[in-house]
């Protein structure tokens, strides 16, 4: 009995020791993780502040360059730039956008640099050594020598010897601004296959107050060509099948185009796009792009857009399809969906979350219209309130 009691004490001691050891390791791991997060955030803040300061230098002055070394813990798996913080982490060697983001553990932190950024992406892949170091309470880190340079477009954050590219010129050369209002671009043709307009009112309230709407839409349909137009909408008020849109539909039908309506109540599939010559999106993000939709009468029975759908539209365009996006200004909608779609397609252009021409209840007329087959015969265009398209 005495021997059994002794063994009980020994086994019990081993178990208690193992539990205490496990608790100690977990505590040590927690402390190490906290230190890694603090170091990562500190380095990221330093990098973004430097980028902002270089960005603020006077354009046209002597080139400004800041050469520094930044230390990031191995827990930081990605540092990159993006035009849309909801976008997936870019896989290329470089990325572009106004936001700089860092992924550390399961957290992604983004900051608005307030100008266009070109950055050589930082990618770390955690290894067994990283895990062992963390268990032992050591913070593994890597040093990056970066040069932050002012350029025509904004700033470039690159490794020494890597030359900045004029990416704002290269990536925006395919953007044709067709209609401007109060010195802001509000209708733009991108890549010859994607048209963006930032006010839905001319279509919604067509046609007595907006006489340019019908000839404009007929020009759009004719320019893109084919015979079948698929109109996708979220808001019940943007349903092309309701009586309000009859003048538009009749005009398009008379021009030889068939209108097919599809509410975004389920994810797009390849079958939805088969045989369609053009896709017109009415207010993407009007319902699904907002965290708290108040317009319950407008927004019923819809689903959020996904990256897979953006990729599907990209494939559709690559195969010869055409895209017409009609959005509106915030706070009535958000440009998250529109910009996410444009980024996924591969375009640098984006729509800002702001009202730049007109205001609710006041119609503004513009004659600042570029000559193009899409604007043929249109001398003036009325808008209620618009957002700006930038690149």
Q: Give how many domains the chain has, as a whole number.
A: 2
Task: Select from 141, 169, 197 the last residue of a domain.
Answer: 169
Q: What is the pLDDT of residue 68?
A: 92
Tell me if 1 is assigned to some domain: no
Q: What is the domain-level CATH number for residue 329?
A: 3.40.50
**Separation between Cα atoms, residue 349 and residue 342, nearest integer Å:** 7
Encode burial over 210-236: b for 16+ CB neighbours within 10 A, e otherwise: bebbbebbbbbbebbebeebbbbbbbb
Asked if residue 159 and residue 44 are part of one domain, the reply reads: yes
pLDDT band at 332 (very low <50, low <70, confident <90, very high): low
**Separation between Cα atoms, residue 37 and residue 128, nearest integer Å:** 19
The two three-digit tokens of residue 333, written as one number: 């909608």
Tell me if 3 is assigned to some domain: no
Q: What is the pLDDT of residue 199?
A: 94
Tell me if 24 is assigned to some domain: no
**Separation between Cα atoms, residue 222 and residue 229, nearest integer Å:** 11
> Is 33's pLDDT higher than 80?
no
Q: What is the pLDDT of residue 216?
A: 97
Asked if residue 370 and residue 332 are part of one domain, the reply reads: yes
Q: If 0-12 CB within 10 Å is exposed, 13-18 middle and 19+ buried, where does residue 325 land?
A: buried
**Separation between Cα atoms, residue 262 and residue 239, nearest integer Å:** 9
Taking residue 150's Cβ as centre, other Cβ atoms within 10 Å add up to: 23
Tens digit of each residue's pLDDT (9 = 90 or more) over 163-217: 776 555 566 778 899 999 988 899 999 989 999 999 999 999 988 789 999 999 9
Tens digit of each residue's pLDDT (9 = 90 or more) over 339-355: 989 988 888 888 988 78
Q: Of 55-64, 108-117, 249-258, 305-314, give the lowest mean pLDDT range.
A: 55-64
Tens digit of each residue's pLDDT (9 = 90 or more) over 143-158: 999 999 887 678 899 9
CB 76 within 8 A of CB 42: no
Residues forming a β-bridge with 359: 362
Asked if residue 89 and residue 195 are part of one domain, the reply reads: no
> Is 22's pLDDT higher than 80?
no
Domain that holds residue 309: 174-390
Tell me if 105 is assigned to some domain: yes
């Amino acid at each position: 009995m005495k021997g059994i009691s002794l063994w009980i004490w020994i086994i019990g001691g081993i178990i208690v020791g193992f539990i205490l050891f496990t608790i100690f390791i977990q505590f040590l791991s927690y402390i190490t993780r906290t230190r890694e997060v603090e170091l990562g955030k500190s380095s990221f803040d330093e990098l973004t502040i430097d980028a902002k300061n270089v960005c603020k230098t006077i354009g046209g002055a002597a080139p400004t360059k800041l050469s520094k070394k930044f230390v990031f813990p191995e827990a930081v798996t990605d540092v990159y730039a993006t035009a849309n913080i909801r976008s997936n982490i870019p896989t290329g060697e470089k990325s572009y956008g106004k936001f700089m983001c860092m992924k550390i553990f399961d957290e992604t932190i983004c900051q608005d640099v307030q100008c266009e950024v070109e950055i050589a992406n930082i990618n770390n892949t955690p290894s067994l050594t990283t895990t062992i170091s963390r268990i032992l309470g050591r913070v593994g880190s890597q040093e990056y020598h970066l040069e932050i340079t002012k350029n025509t477009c904004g700033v470039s954050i690159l490794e020494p010897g890597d030359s900045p590219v004029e990416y704002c010129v290269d990536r925006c050369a395919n953007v044709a601004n067709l209609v401007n209002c109060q010195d802001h671009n509000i209708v733009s043709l991108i890549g010859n296959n994607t048209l963006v307009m930032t006010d839905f009112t001319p279509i919604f309230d067509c046609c007595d107050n907006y006489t340019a709407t019908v000839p404009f839409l007929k020009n759009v349909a004719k320019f893109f060509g084919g015979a079948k137009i698929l109109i996708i909408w979220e808001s019940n008020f943007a349903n092309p099948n309701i009586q309000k849109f009859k003048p538009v539909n009749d005009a398009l039908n008379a021009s030889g185009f068939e209108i097919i309506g599809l509410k975004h109540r389920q994810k797009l599939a390849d079958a939805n796009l088969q045989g369609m010559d053009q896709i017109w999106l009415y207010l993407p993000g009007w319902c699904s792009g907002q965290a708290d939709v108040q317009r319950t009468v407008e927004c019923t029975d819809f689903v959020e857009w996904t990256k897979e759908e953006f990729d599907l539209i990209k494939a559709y365009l690559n195969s010869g399809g055409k895209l017409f996006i009609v959005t509106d200004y915030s706070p009535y909608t958000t440009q998250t969906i529109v910009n996410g779609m444009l980024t996924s397609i591969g375009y640098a252009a984006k729509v800002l979350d702001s009202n730049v021409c007109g205001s609710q209840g006041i119609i503004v007329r513009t004659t600042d219209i570029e000559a193009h087959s899409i604007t043929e015969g249109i001398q003036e265009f009325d808008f209620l309130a618009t957002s700006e398209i930038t690149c």
